Amino acid sequence: MSDARTVSFATLGCRLNQVDTQQLQTLLEARGFKTVAFDEPADVVVVNTCTVTARAEFSDRQMIRRAARVSPRGKLVVTGCWAQTSPGDVAGMEEVDLVVGNADKHRLPELLERVVTDTVHVSDIGRARTIEVAPPARVLGRSRAFLKVQDGCQHRCAFCVVPLARGGSRSLEPRVVLDQARLLVAAGHPEVVLTGVDLGHYGADLVPRTTLAALLRSLVEIRGLRWLRLSSLLPAYFTVELVEAVTASPVVAPHFHIPLQSGSDRVLRAMRRPYNTRMYRALVERLVAARPRLGLGADVIAGFPGETDEDFAETVACVRALPFSYLHVFPYSRRQGTEAARLEGQLDPGTIMRRSRALREVGRLKSHEFRQGLAGRVEDVLVLETPDRTTGALVGLTGNYVEVSFPGPRALMRKLARVRVMGADGDRAVGELEAQAS
């Protein structure tokens, strides 16, 4: 598409989608496109969608219509998980010019050439067997770099539509991961975040077979890497080998996101989750013992079909008993094509919302307690690229994934600083600068 020189992007949903968008930006810029802000008119607008909940699809539609208003003469491309699972619905929107399935995101520059005659190009995600190797995502000016090492999922949890949108589990070869991680560190990123849909399954599809633990042991040896952070990991993946790998090196950030979903074993079985609460508690206790002041996050679903008052009470009790530093609460959303959508005992929206609010309040209190518990400590903080809009203070992340705001020179942005935490304020901790970290 020779006359299209500018492109803008909008990304909805998970961190993996954000990484995919960065890679698409890199690919299009290599073809001569210039990226502009989403609120500026562009020749091509790419909307990367989410489908995890009904609310997400509502947001997708809103973003597509907004893109059309901002760039009325531009070509509008929709990709991502909603484009994969409901291509007819997406293509039916009059604003949309091209629909691209997840497995063909890397072919976007090529597909743009046919945008006039081919409006829907949805790949068979079930046939995907490899991850396409894109150039490292364009992350200039950012302190943290995200590296996708795995995609897809082989689990079939009753509530989840992600396997339909992302396909089976696929891993990036270890040598490619190491090469890209070294490039990111050399480009000035002291923190690299490994992302994946089912990260703990990394390497099981490769020949020869390998493991996430083996990959971590190699990555932590990269010179200049201060923190290696992991995205979400199911508790069942924490083998003895993996626990050793994540607790033995100070390079692995003391922060894990381990989905819980429910504190009721009965509900976990109905969800088809591969663990129970006893296993979950034992894992958390072992990790916290090995990594003091561990940042621990979890996903919890409120209102799964058939969830009784007693089941919900067990979930609340479980969350209160464990040392979570934050909680992501999701109201159950009925998704077409999932087993849970066919179950009896679908709860009314009012009950689901009340339970969600109650869990969020518990999570808010746990988060405040964790941040307040850091008071008086001096922590390494990776200063982010954007200061606080209201106060102008610097904002950074500790290893255990706590945002800290503190006064300091802008020269520290995207660098490591030593900060004394003074207490908690709102959703952040507040601190005072001690020194720039070495």
The per-residue pLDDT for 125 is 47
Q: Is the pLDDT of residue 278 over 60?
A: yes
Q: Is residue 290 part of a domain?
A: yes
Two tokens at 146?
Answer: 């995200």
The per-residue pLDDT for 406 is 96
The per-residue pLDDT for 116 is 44
Q: Is residue 364 part of a domain?
A: yes
Q: At what angle do helices 212-219 and 240-248 cross, to 10 degrees?
A: 20
Q: Residue 316 burial (CB < 10 Å; 0-12/13-18/19+)?
A: middle
Two tokens at 274?
Answer: 């591969």
CB 16 within 8 A of CB 196: yes
| % of the chain beyond a pLDDT of 70 | 92
Sheet harboring 191-195: ordered strands across? 144-148, 191-195, 227-230
| Amino acid residing at 124 | D
The per-residue pLDDT for 130 is 59
CA–CA distance, 72 with 11 (Å, rounded to integer): 19
Q: Is the pLDDT of residue 245 over 90?
A: yes
pLDDT: which is higher, 86 or 332 = 332
**What CATH number is associated with residue 432?**
2.40.50.140
- Note whether 336 and 426 are same-domain residues: no
Q: Is the pLDDT of residue 212 over 60?
A: yes
Give the end of a domain, one of 354, 372, 390.
372
**What's the total number of domains in the chain?**
4
The per-residue pLDDT for 26 is 86
Residue 268 has φ and ψ, to the nearest 5°, of -60, -40
- Note whether 12 and 113 are same-domain residues: yes
Q: Which residues fall within 8 angstroms of residue 237, CB to CB, at 6 or more apart?
A: 199, 200, 201, 212
CB 134 within 8 A of CB 107: no
Q: Which residues fall within 8 angstroms of residue 322, CB to CB, at 6 or more apart?
A: 281, 284, 296, 298
- Note whether 166 and 223 are same-domain residues: yes
Q: Is residue 216 part of a domain?
A: yes
Q: What is the mean pLDDT of the chain?
A: 90
- Note whether 115 and 213 are same-domain residues: no
For strand 120-121 and strand 98-100, is the pairing parallel, antiparallel, or unpaired? parallel
Average pLDDT over residues 17-38: 89
- Note whether 160 and 92 are same-domain residues: no
- Note whether 188 and 285 are same-domain residues: no
- Note whether 97 and 135 are same-domain residues: no
**What CATH number is associated with residue 103?**
3.40.50.12160
Q: Is the pLDDT of residue 8 over 90?
A: yes
Q: Is residue 417 part of a domain?
A: yes
**What CATH number is associated with residue 275?**
3.30.750.200
Q: Is residue 173 part of a domain?
A: yes
Reported as half-sphere exposure (CB side, CA atoms, 13 A), residue 88 has a value of: 0
- Note whether 282 and 353 are same-domain residues: yes
pTM: 0.87
Digit-coded pLDDT (tens) for 78-96: 999 998 888 889 889 999 9
Give the end of a domain, one of 355, 372, 389.
372
| Amino acid residing at 149 | V
CB 427 within 8 A of CB 405: no
Q: How many residues does the chain have?
A: 438
Give the end of a domain, one of 96, 123, 150.
123
Cα distance between the two ends of the chain: 48
Q: Which residues fall within 8 angstroms of residue 122, CB to CB, at 6 or more apart?
A: 83, 84, 87, 99, 100, 101, 104
Q: Is 377 helix (H, G, I), strand (E, B) or coil?
A: coil
- Helix segments in 322-406, DSSP class H: 349-372
CA–CA distance, 321 with 311 (Å, rounded to integer): 15
CA–CA distance, 394 with 323 (Å, rounded to integer): 28
Task: State the pLDDT confidence band at 392, using cuts at 50, 70 and 90.
Answer: confident
- Note whether 193 and 225 are same-domain residues: yes
CA–CA distance, 395 with 226 (Å, rounded to integer): 18
The per-residue pLDDT for 2 is 44
The alpha carbon of 27 is separated from its chain's Cα centroid by a whole number of angstroms, namely 21
Task: State the pLDDT confidence band at 250, using cuts at 50, 70 and 90.
Answer: very high
Q: Is 193 helix (H, G, I), strand (E, B) or coil?
A: strand
Q: Is residue 398 part of a domain?
A: yes
How far, in Å, are 3, 24, 132 from residue 106 at the CA level?
21, 7, 7
- Note whether 136 and 114 are same-domain residues: no
- Note whether 292 and 239 are same-domain residues: no
Give which of 128, 85, 87 is closest to 107, Cα–Cα. 128
| % of the chain beyond a pLDDT of 90 | 71
- Note whether 431 and 317 are same-domain residues: no
The per-residue pLDDT for 143 is 79
Q: Is residue 232 part of a domain?
A: yes
CB 335 within 8 A of CB 341: yes
Full residue range of the structural domain in which residue 238 is found: 130-253
Looking at the DSSP assignment, which residues form a beta bridge with residue 9? 46
Q: Is residue 1 part of a domain?
A: no
Give which of 84, 257, 232 is closest to 161, Cα–Cα. 84
Average pLDDT over residues 51-78: 92
